[in-house]
Amino acid sequence: MPDNSIGMGAGSGSSLPLEAAPARTAGRFKAFYRKFRKQRLAFAAACFIILLLLVAILGPFLTPYNPDTPNYDALMQGPSAHHWAGTDEYGRDIMSRLIDGTRLSLAVSLSAVFIAAVLGTILGLLSGYYGGWLDRLIMRGSDVLFSFPDLLLAIGIVAILGPGLSNVVIAVAVFGTPSFARIIRSVTLSVKETLFVEATRSMGAKDSRIIWRHIFPETVSSIIVNVSMRIGGAILAAASLSFLGMGAKTTEPDWGAMLSMGRDYLSIAPHIVYFPGLTIFLAVLAFNIFGDGLRDALDPKIKN
């Protein structure tokens, strides 16, 4: 008879039935959703992020004008019913360019964070599981990377590799990796000490099996949380690099590049800067709030 776990044990068990009977984890996602839903701001941020993703995917179908076609009859017009966010110095519709640029900005930041997550997770797992000289090597390496201001490091990398969006991705990924490595290492260290990992060792499992089958799944929630927290920073970093002319070409509808171009006309047509700036601000804010909310909802130590 499969009863639920009431028998917590006479010797070590807690005595209250509410603790002795954990909720079935079939509802794990449900529980997470309920916790997350309670955080209104984070939930709103999540909705905004979904909107951004939709815009990124459906971009070409949503743009009211062709984002690249200049219109010399409507240079640097302010916001109006025709051009909601006005036009830029070539008369291109800023709204359309922002919509089109969403794809680029998200692609750059998401792929950079994804690469950082993969690299950092592998390094963190190896470092935490094996310890010893490998651990020292990886951790000292990330200390070195940590000691540079983020942006300076990225600028340095792009300076070496040359400008271009793919190099921006690499640069942002490199400075994101140590944070993943550290977080995953600390999770690994604690999971390594759990009884079920010791039990697996006692069976004679290979290290690779212990790492991937037993430890990695325990790190997934930390990875997800850190990914969502890092995306905001990555958007900002990519925009900054483009703003400095080290990322997207000025012709590309990139949020940072738009900001950079608009800088020259700040005094006569401030809206060219305002709207890309506002978009970057909202996107970064949304990802940061979303990340905080995710962390609170996934962390079992934080209750409601």
Residues that bind other proteins (CB under 8 A): 1-13, 15-18, 20-25, 194-196, 198-207, 209, 214, 217
Query: How far apart, in whole angstroms, are the C-alpha atoms of residue 197 and residue 203?
Result: 10
**Three-state DSSP state, 3:** coil
CB of 178 to other proteins, least distance (A): 27
**Beta bridge partners of residue 87, listed in sequence order:** 93
Q: How far is CA 262 from CA 23, 271, 272, in A?
A: 55, 8, 5
CB of 299 to other proteins, least distance (A): 17
Query: How far apart, in whole angstroms, are the C-alpha atoms of residue 133 and residue 243?
Result: 41
Nearer to other proteins, 185 or 214 (CB): 214
Q: How far is CA 12 from CA 7, 8, 9, 190, 199, in A?
A: 11, 8, 6, 22, 20
Nearer to other proteins, 22 or 60 (CB): 22
CB of 195 to other proteins, least distance (A): 4
Question: What value, to the nearest 5°, has the Cα angle with vertex 92 and ends 257 and 79?
Answer: 95
Q: How far is CA 123 from CA 116, 120, 179, 228, in A?
A: 10, 5, 11, 19
Nearer to other proteins, 216 or 275 (CB): 216
CB of 213 to other proteins, least distance (A): 8
Nearer to other proteins, 5 or 166 (CB): 5
Nearer to other proteins, 13 or 149 (CB): 13
CB of 127 to other proteins, least distance (A): 18
Nearest by Cα to 179 from 152, 149, 153, 146:
146
Nearer to other proteins, 24 or 249 (CB): 24
CB of 219 to other proteins, least distance (A): 12
Nearer to other proteins, 7 or 245 (CB): 7
φ and ψ at 93, to 5 degrees?
-70, 120
Query: How far apart, in whole angstroms, are the C-alpha atoms of residue 112 and residue 84?
Result: 31
CB of 228 to other proteins, least distance (A): 22
The set of residues, in sequence order, having a beta carbon less than 8 Å from that of 6 and lying 6+ positions away, is 17, 20, 21
